[in-house]
């Protein structure tokens, strides 16, 4: 019984020391399809420790689910406002979402 209690306590302490994570759902509008936006987003996200996805939407926008530390998400958000060299970003909106963070970052 004592060992089980110690295990739970150690797990809670470890959990409390983990940096906070959240998921943000971004929608990027402008000339963002056909300019390597999704792959460039993945290349920006992975070194920041961000997981999620980037996918083209039927209306010509790109949707990005990004899960990670708030500071890293802020950095990615700033990058999304510019995008890769050939993109012409007109608008970026985002919301915090309760999505379960995926294990990696993929392009869809």
Please identify which of the residues 21, 24, 38, 43 carries the catalytic annotation: 38
Please identify which of the residues 21, 27, 31, 56 carries the catalytic annotation: 56
b/e burial code for range 72-85 (CB count within 10 A of at least 16 → b): bbebbeebbeebbe
Q: Residue 81 in 3-state DSSP?
A: coil
What is the CB neighbour count within 10 angstroms for residue 15? Answer: 8
Dihedral of CA atoms 91, 92, 93, 98 in degrees, nearest 10, equals: 160
Please say if 8 is a catalytic residue: no
Please say if 5 is a catalytic residue: no
Residues assigned a catalytic role: 38, 56
């Amino acid at each position: 019984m004592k060992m089980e209690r110690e295990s739970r306590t150690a797990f809670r302490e470890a959990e409390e020391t983990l940096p906070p994570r959240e998921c943000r759902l971004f929608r990027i509008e402008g000339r963002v399809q056909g300019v390597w936006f999704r792959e460039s987003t993945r290349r920006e996200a992975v070194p920041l420790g961000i997981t999620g996805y980037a996918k083209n939407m039927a209306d010509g926008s790109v949707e990005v689910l990004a899960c990670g530390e708030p500071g890293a998400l802020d950095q990615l958000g700033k990058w999304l406002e510019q995008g890769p060299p050939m993109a012409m970003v007109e608008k970026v909106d985002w919301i915090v979402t309760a999505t379960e963070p995926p294990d990696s970052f993929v392009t869809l």
